[in-house]
Structure 1
């Protein structure tokens, strides 16, 4: 695998970098640089700016609005987006459900949903996990009963990321108890304004509102909202999860975090711990850098053979483990550098003045602590890392 960039790749990088410096909404970059969290309006503005350039869905096939970029160009784009400090796209629509729709959906479903996703007119949520069906997702109990041209849906989904922003939700629902438990699962899309859907917030330990619990009580869903055949939802879900698990890599974002850690250490009022010979933090930060290099190589190896919107195979499990454990390792270094200033805090970081009352704390400490808490969940969601190890073991015949 030749990792040396070509002249064309370097010219492409310069174009992308110039865009983020001059054309991309600078107010969004400023908010993130201030440690703020973005609201739905910010996410829409970001995605519409990319959509206007035709850059919102690099991984989609060109026939459906993708860029037609090479794997190298897609990797460069992701690097420059994260290098600029811009937010990643909301994955539920663009990265997760869209590949299922354009791979398994009817033409009517493609016409109905893909353009709205590509133009950021609709936001999607993912309804997979349930209170008693997380890692053992096939044990889900949310039920859909056929009633003529509709399904009647009852049940509950939990840990639903950005469900409070969503216009649509795609869910795995049980339509049969016969045979293997995976065989009775169906992939169903629902309009979030449908009567009987209730969204309840879950505030996480980092103080943020990312997650939600969603209940379905007698929700009538048209049969035309079903993707593929009844009972084959597990097949479509596996296709989606391989896209999801490779999306965790965020190599450039992690590299930017390490650069910011060095800057924070250099500016720390107690001295630059990363410059001190024999520093345990210095050694552990170097180990994190090595882990990141390994993640980058692994991601490139997994993506290099793919063309035009294909999904990676079970190697996605390797990326999921490496990416999430590296993310946790990096945020642990922030906590270690902050020392006594790394204390739990609960602030509404959507406000520009969220730092009020924290003026005596080094600027990196509070958002660094929040990132540490947030990344605790990364080895759990998207299929726990223990489950990923089982997938790898099966592929090895163990």
Structure 2
């Protein structure tokens, strides 16, 4: 009787265990396979033409939807900024602004005088030679006066259509010097507006119509701001003699900002002007918004420059300043489907940058994964790592079809093409 009861109880216990084993596993956020689990340490037998492994080494596809995106990184800078450089040796007669000062358009910045070379001085002292030199001059003297200041100007192309750079206005400085009292000369001398000196021909010609060129290129020239902005990097000093190609000052409009990111040229088909960019600034928790304004491909090396204009709103206003480092992302394409895998399924990749927010790579991050094909042979499949989940400690990857099986074992390279046996 006792033996019968023991057998009956054992039958009940075995049935209970089988019933529990058939129940589906509850939802969990834990990793598919822990790196320290038996899967990693289970023995694998590799022969010349086969690889024998346990079922724990094989992972079925676990799909997950995601939005494709690209990372952008750059530095905040004004869209409109200009650097004044001396095209010829000049004397800085007077500096009319201070570094950090905000100036309005057409505000006088500097008063300069082009340095007279020894050969020119000899020509002036010899009336006969001076007259011969005068008749051989091609460009009017007002143009030569403007050439004393050269300009390197940085402007985003999308703003140029709305506001073209102002053209220089040249005034005959000889007439000015002769007819205007010396006390008023500073505000009445030639206006060398900030612009491209190559565009001076028409203006110079108009200002000297029906007048004979005069030798007055060494008179004072007032340099004025071509747009409203802040004076930065003021190098010029009153009384200073400046050699050619020497920077004088920089003018920046800090009210309109952008940043420029560099991407591989292969990213060009995914981007277009007008796309929204969400970004953060180093050292800030705020999230800002921008918009792609221009895409420029470079030839050497082949890169894609992405210009992103900052959206001026209450969030960005008074918070974003030039030289701040930013990191952002731009979405592209339709919602896609990837696969979730543990870390030890990924090979030949450094995953360090994914361990911190936003847990997405700044550039496309490639790795290799072992795949078991439908013919049961091993394939070393290149994939792209899309994202890291710090809660589950799993990675989202793209590039694997839904009918594949993933091998979690770290196999030698020569395992490619070998047939998989499950024991």
What range describes the TM-score normalised by the shorter chain of this pair? Answer: under 0.3
Normalising by structure 2, report the TM-score: 0.19
Higher helix content, 1 or 2:
1
Normalising by structure 1, report the TM-score: 0.20
Larger Rg: 2
